[in-house]
Amino acid sequence: MPFQTALTKALNLRVPVLAAPLGRGTDAAFLAAMANSGGFGFAALMHMPEVTISDELAEISRVTGGSFGANLTLVVDQRKRLAAALDKGVRVFSLWQGDIEPYVRVIKDAGGLVFWTIGDPKDAARAKEFGVDFIVSQGREAGGHFIGTAPTMSLLPSIVDAAKGVPVVAAGGVADGRGLLAAMALGACGVWMGTRFVASKESASHRGYKERVVAARATDLVETELFDPVGQECPHWVIRNSTFSKWEEAGRPPTGQRPGEGESISRYPNGQPVYRYDVAAAWDSMEGDWEASPLYAGSTVELIHDVKSVAEIVGEIEATAEAALDKISGSRAGR
């Protein structure tokens, strides 16, 4: 593939493609498939209990050969999870939604790389002074939780311009090689994809969730803050489901007055109940009313027509990017 960039060089990748953390859908098997395909994925530490995180990361490291990163959502104190990850040899981290400075210092002191997900050029201008290695420019099309202030096509070049030389990865609205090529034309060194990889054979997302992503159109998506705890609200895109519809039919009441609130819809592997309106998306072994959990997805559902292996998805990204580049080159040569 003719796309060797700052991202592929830093992480020793064949393709400049990163898989976003998919909650409990990102497990060891999925991250191994990403590593074997020539891409790179991030484990969602927020969804790992602190008491099991060391064992989970040890298994991920074993099957990936250490080629994976860890994502920390900084709406809560993540110092214990960071320490556990560093202790297990993790040296690539993505940070967002909070004060990154103290975390960056610890990571850099350990010789690590930092990816910072942002949605505003003002933050891009501060990335270099913080010691950030890569910026992730997240547009409003991104599936699940998003902080983008504008669509990817307008946000990305403005962040590249403000980044003062810090390389930028594009997130939101990308699901194939054409999107990769478009992002690179706007100054990105690679792409960060979530929704496309939810609908992969290796993701640990529930099979019904994958099928809903394949069947969905953009008109099935709703923007809401419904599935976040009080005090941690962040806009997120989800596929309309029974929980959202019942809440909407009830007049969109506030927390504490929502229909079915406090109702257990399933259980986590450790036996703790999963309640309606919880943040966790449906995972493969989830029993009970999995459909009632948030079905995070972005506008790229329009481009996803089947569940494929990670290797097939990454291979198609390469092929469609090269084909698009050849088409452009051919058009220029024909002038």
Strand order through the sheet with 236-239: 144-145, 236-239, 221-224
Q: What is the pLDDT of residues 152-192, one digit of tens each?
A: 999 999 999 999 999 999 999 999 999 999 999 999 999 99
Contact 237, 146 (CB under 8 A): yes
**Cβ neighbours, 10 Å, residue 298:** 31
Alpha carbons 142 and 299: distance in angstroms, whole number: 7
End-to-end, the C-alpha distance of the chain in Å comes to 26
Phi and psi at residue 205, in whole multiples of 5°? -70, 150
Would you state the pLDDT for residue 335?
Answer: 56
Confidence (pTM): 0.94
The token pair at 254 is: 């506030």
> What is the helix, strand, coil percentage profile of the chain, to 5?
40, 20, 40
Furthest-apart CA atoms within the chain: distance in Å: 65
Give the relative orientation of helices 79-87 and 101-109 as an angle to the nearest 10 degrees. 10
How would CATH label the architecture of 6-203+307-326?
Alpha-Beta Barrel (3.20)
Contact 282, 212 (CB under 8 A): no
Q: Delimit the CATH 3.20.20.70 region(s) of the chain.
A: 6-203+307-326
Determine how β-strand 134-138 pairs with β-strand 168-171: parallel
Q: What is the pLDDT of residues 80-89, one digit of tens each?
A: 999 999 999 9
Distance between alpha carbon 99 and the CA centroid of its chain, in Å? 19
Helix (H) or strand (E) holding 124: helix 121-124
Helix (H) or strand (E) holding 270: none
Alpha carbons 275 and 94: distance in angstroms, whole number: 28
Report, as ranges of residue numbers, the positions in the chain whose pLDDT lies below 50: none
